[in-house]
A and B are shown apart, each in its own frame.
Chain A
Amino acid sequence: MDDITIIAAASIISAGITMGIGAMGPGLGQGRAVAGALSALAQQPDASSTITRTLFVGLAMIESMAIYCFVISMILIFANPFWNHVITQAAGK
């Protein structure tokens, strides 16, 4: 296997793993957050606007973890810096 094949295989596999594990944690966290917000809403329907706003901000915070993982996996697949480096080196030879 030459360098390009190794880099391609490694980046595709690690992009999949990144997305898989990166979706697991935020999924659990968002589930807990929504469950907490729902029980709070059931107990105090008057405070719904405050709860909803805080919930949205919190969800965005949690979701940004998943988004970071997604961005990194997209970079690995579509804009891989190592890939470009190896190709320019092979062209320079």
Chain B
Amino acid sequence: MRLSTDQLILWQHGFFKLNATIVYTWGLMFVLAMGSKLITRRLAPGVSISRWQCVLEIIVINMKKQIEEVGLRRPERYLGFVGTLFLFIAMANLFTIFPGYEPPTGSLSTTTALAISVFVAVPFYGIRERGWGGYLKSYLEPTVIMLPFNIMGEFSRTLALAVRLFGNMMSGTMILGILFIVTPFIFPTVMNALGLLTGMVQAYIFSILALVYIAAATGTGSSKTDNTTKDKIWTT
């Protein structure tokens, strides 16, 4: 039994291998890029819009709303990065309804790549928002003693992001494979439906966690002024 899609090699020439992960990722990139290109080619500003534009607007508006709810004030800045993460993972997990497809997120290489991009993006946004001094000072909060733990946390949460997504997706495929051996008819379908739900939840969680990390680095996430104003609203 294969543990990940990396071990399924579709084409090989010398030392140059094309495994299933790479091929499916390329396919997803193609579908996402061509889909958005085709939809945004004819955007209408009026009341009557095409149904695909409506779908895209719903997705983008809801993403912006979620980003604002986490506490980031200018969602347009983060929409490109976090939105792409969400769309890629969600599509990768949704496509499991097609037979023969295996999610590229079920391979540790893909999830590590995604987690590393979050690892790079967090200091990038942090420095852009607060400057070098402000960002580096956030490592010394609340006291200087916490510095090694803050640095360790930076690495461990990247590892956790990668392994969480990989484990969830791999376990879905693995359980399906085992069920096909034990009860080959109806029950795997039920588990597949459950896998679709887990896939969406994992995509949501991955992007929300990336957002929370970015919000913590930019210092806008849960600042004290925000909390006090919220408390005032609740008490009144």
- Encode contact with A along B186-228: 1 for CB under 8 Å, 0 otherwise: 0000000000000001101100110010000000000000000
Number of B interface residues, CB 8 Å? 20
Within 8 A of A (CB), among B136-191: 160, 163-164, 166-168, 170-171, 174
CB-CB < 8 A to B205: which residues of A?
A: 56-57, 60
Is B76 interfacial (CB 8 A cutoff)? no
Q: Which residue of B has the minimal Cβ distance to A79?
A: B3
Q: Which of B1, B171, B174, B201 contacts A67 (CB 8 A)?
A: B171
CA distance A73 to B160 in the complex (A): 17
Binding site secondary structure of chain B: helix
Q: Which of B3, B66, B168, B209 contacts A74 (CB 8 A)?
A: B3
CA distance A70 to B3 in the complex (A): 12
CB-CB < 8 A to B171: which residues of A?
A: 67, 70, 74
Please determine whether B167 and A70 come into contact, CB atoms closer than 8 angstroms.
yes
Please determine whether A50 and B69 come into contact, CB atoms closer than 8 angstroms.
yes
Contact of A74 with B170 at beta-carbon distance under 8 Å, contacts A53-B208, A57-B212, A60-B205 already known: yes
CA distance A10 to B160 in the complex (A): 27
Q: List B residues at the A interface (Cβ < 8 Å).
A: 1, 3, 66, 69, 160, 163-164, 166-168, 170-171, 174, 201-202, 204-205, 208-209, 212
8 contacts between A and B (CB under 8 A): A49-B69, A56-B201, A56-B205, A60-B202, A67-B164, A68-B163, A71-B166, A78-B3
